[in-house]
Amino acid sequence: METTFLPLLVVLPMLAAFLIPLFAKLWQRSADLIANAVGAALLGLSVFGAVCLFTDSHAIVYRLGGWAPTLGITLVFDHLTALVAMAVNVVGFAALLFSVRYLDRYTGRWKFFALFMLVLAGLNGVTITGDLFNLFVFVEIAAVSSYALVAFGTDFDELEAGFKYMVIGEIGGIAVLLGIALLYAKASALNMAVVSQVMAELGHTPLFWFIVALFLVGFAVKMAMVPFHAWLPDAHPSAPAPVSALLSGVFIKVLGVYAMCRVMFNVFGLSRANAPVFFDLLLAFGVLSIVAGGLLAYAQKDYKRLLAYSSISQIGYILIGLGIGNYWAIVGALFHVLAHALSKGLLFLTSGSVEHATGTRDLDKLSGLEKKMPLTAWSYLLGSLSLAGVPPFAGFFSKFFVVIGAVQAKLYWLAILAALFSTVTLGYLVKVANSAFFSRKDRDPSAAHESPATMVLAMLALLVLTLVLGIGFKPALDQLVGPAAQVLLNGLGYARSVLGG
Amino acid sequence: MVALLACLLLVLIGLYAVVTKRNIIRIVIGFSLVEYAVNLFFALVGFKRDALPPIITDVAQTRNFVDPLPQALVLTAIVIGLATTALMLALAMRIYEKYRTFDITEIRRLRG
């Protein structure tokens, strides 16, 4: 009975995306109202699902139309889903709240909210689906709407970034589709649990590795790990700020990290023990992403572009956590999914707030904003401390757990590199704080002002959650992140928990 | 097997167009080619020689029938392909209105 809430996670935003254009014709502002109501409802549903899992540790499984797994599509809500779904809907709701006033300078606001709802439908769909083709469909729903949102400003930069993003993103999507076709040819099933059982019997043939490679390329493009990252520093800054917050905060993690983890760990049953090469590859990509993203971020003069490169670097931390592959490293990676979603969402919202107030994102033109917009400035500062991994904040614990994992795996150089690059992270984030907010010279006498209440509220909400996650890391670890890591380490045990028995 | 390899060849031709062509419209055409090749591959996965259409009237008689699932999936994939092609062409039109060119080497305002 209590499983019936699962399809609502997709149905509600889909319905909203359909209703918004209808009602917006009658009353412009209804778009804001519907979108925010649905955002709040989705947040409530994902929290409800997570709370259900506290008491009953089994995965919540919903069979669409009541069909048994080989024939029908199953929706699965386990601990890993709970973690990712909460991240999606928290950042999504904050971004929606922020959009209400931020969008005043754009035309066609109902189009924005309708597309935003479709992105949320796709992201939630990816997290709860238990079927491979369904996964592809939701990935494409989220991706296609996000291409449109990146190009939403329809100016030179936005169009160029949107097209570039679309070309590279679609190559990833097609790689995944080809992988699914080959997998279906081999396993004659698409349900993840059933496929995982069939693949376990087939063993690791060359074809198996070819399929793994196709999925890896597809998801690597979506998560922008370094050799596949070219689109991200163009696309994320070009989108309107709330969309950047959603894209950088959760989009790359759901379509990239979450989908990859689910397929590699739970469907293909890869683990450090049986596929060391694959995990070494993740480590190599992770190190490349941390180093290249971190160093390139230093060189940026554009507020949002700097944050975008920082996202590439932080994805690297998640990747090395997964690549090390022991319990603490995976806990660190998943904790970072949550911590980075909150703090990077917050940082991108502050960039929107600054752009809203001053009309520019150029760090050379911004200065001394702390006096005029103190709440934005301090949100930025605390958010960036969390992202860089300064002790009482959430980002510290995720990096700390990754380092513990690296030490346990006797990869000391990796532990040192992770710690070193967290100071690099602090370096480039402080650069923004210095030049935009806390510089003494007042080169910008324009009438900058604190943003409207709803925008500040959205930023403060994310800030408070970042602080809560940092101070309350122990309950978060026990109830949310630890069990989620167990889902990944459990590997093929996923099939048993979905199919029952 | 030959048909499957031919699909792979089609994918590679399409990718070649996407990677090397400078004209945006040709890139979109390359994409359509890749999409159709993957869809064709998926449809062929379910194909069996001398098999019956998958319309089951009497369960006892029908043993050797074509797998209907890939066809249903390919229909979905075609619709997704339609959406991506439409959006790509829409972007191409807006880019042309702004830049007055389809040449991607001249559409480079974003750097490093």
Which residues in B lie closer than 8 A to residue A188 (C-beta atoms)? 67
Q: Which amino acid is at A342?
A: L
| Residue that wins the pLDDT comparison between A441 and A410 | A410
Tell me: pLDDT of A406 over 90.
yes
At B53, give phi and psi (nearest 5°).
Answer: -65, 150
Q: Which residues of B87-105 are buried (b: 16+ CB within 10 A; e: fewer)?
A: bbeebbebbeebbeebebe
Task: Give first-to-last CA distance, chain A, whole Å.
Answer: 19
Question: Could you tell me which residues are beta bridge partners of residue A131?
Answer: A191
Cβ of B94 within 8 Å of Cβ of A170? The answer is no
Torsion of CA B106, B110, B111, B112, to 10 degrees: -120
For residue A373, which phi and psi values (nearest 5 degrees)?
-130, 75
Q: Is the Cβ pair A137, B80 closer than 8 Å?
A: yes
Q: Is B31 in contact with B44 (CB distance < 8 Å)?
A: no
- Taking the C-alpha atoms of residue A345 and residue A340, their distance in angstroms, rounded to an integer, is 8
Q: What are phi and psi of A221, to 5 degrees?
A: -65, -45
Residue B99 confidence (pLDDT): 87
Helix (H, G, I), strand (E, B) or coil at B46: coil
Asked if B41 lies within 8 A of A178 by C-beta distance, the reply is yes
Percentage above 70 pLDDT, chain B: 90
CB-CB: which of B70, B84, B109 is closest to A157?
B109
Computed over every residue of chain B, the mean pLDDT equals 86
Name residue B68's amino acid.
Answer: P
Comparing A71-80, A81-90, A333-342, which segment has the lowest mean pLDDT?
A: A71-80
For a pLDDT cut of 90, what percent of chain A falls above it?
Answer: 64
B10 min Cα distance to partner chain A (Å): 13
The band of B77, judged by pLDDT with boundaries at 50, 70 and 90, is very high
Tell me how far apart the alpha carbons of residues A185 and A207 are, in angstroms, rounded to a whole number.
11
Beta bridge partners of A77: A60
Average of per-residue pLDDT across A17-37: 91
Residue in A137, A161, A181 nearest the CB of B45 = A181
Q: What is the 3-state secondary structure (H, E, C) of A204-221?
A: CCHHHHHHHHHHHHHHHH
A123 pLDDT more than 90: yes
How far apart are alpha carbons A46 and A53 in whole angstroms? 11
pLDDT category, A187, cuts 50, 70, 90?
confident
The whole-number pLDDT of residue A247 equals: 94
Give the domain ranges of chain A: 148-499
Cα separation, B35 vs B38, in Å, equals 5
Judge whether residue A292 has pLDDT over 90.
yes
Residue A84 has pLDDT above 80, yes or no: yes
Q: Length of chain B in residues, anyone?
A: 112
Measured in degrees and rounded to the nearest 5, phi and psi for residue A47 equal -65, -40
Widest pairwise Cα distance in chain A: 69
Q: What are the percentages of helix, strand and coil residues in chain A, rounded to 5?
A: 80, 5, 20
Which residue of A147, A190, A299 is in closest CB contact with B87? A147
Helix (H, G, I), strand (E, B) or coil at A430: helix
Name which of A256, A257, A178, A254 is nearest A221 in CA terms: A256
Determine the average pLDDT of the residues in B5-18. Answer: 92
Arch. (CATH architecture) of B1-33+68-112: Orthogonal Bundle (1.10)
Amino acid, single-letter form, for residue B44: L
At A439-488, the pLDDT tens digits run 766 555 566 778 888 999 999 999 999 999 999 888 888 888 998 999 89
- Residue-level pLDDT at B60: 62
Assess contact for A42 and A120: CB atoms under 8 A: yes
**Residue A491's pLDDT band (cuts 50, 70, 90):** confident
Q: Which amino acid type is present at position A106?
A: Y
Confidence of residue A1 (pLDDT cuts 50, 70, 90): very low
Identify whether the C-beta of residue B86 lies closer than 8 Å to the C-beta of residue B95: no
Domain ranges of chain B: 1-33+68-112
pLDDT of residue A441: 63
B contact residues 37-66, partner A, Cβ 8 Å cutoff: 38, 41-42, 45
Between residues A187 and A218, the one the model is more confident about: A218
Of the candidates A184, A174, A138, the one whose C-alpha atom is nearest the C-alpha of residue B69 is A184
Q: Is A319 left (phi over 0), alpha (psi -120 to 50) or beta?
A: alpha
Identify the pLDDT of residue B62. 59
Q: What is the ipTM of this complex?
A: 0.92
Can you give the pLDDT at residue A54? 81
**CB neighbours of A304 closer than 8 A, spacing ≥ 6?**
A236, A237, A241, A244, A348, A351, A361
The reported pTM is 0.94
User: Would you say residue B63 has pLDDT above 80?
Assistant: no
Which DSSP symbol is given to B65?
B
Asked if residues A344 and A245 have their Cβ atoms less than 8 Å apart, the reply is yes
pLDDT at position B2: 84
Contact flag B80-A159 (C-beta cutoff 8 Å): no
pLDDT number for residue B61: 61
Closest-CA distance, B84 to chain A, in angstroms, reads 7
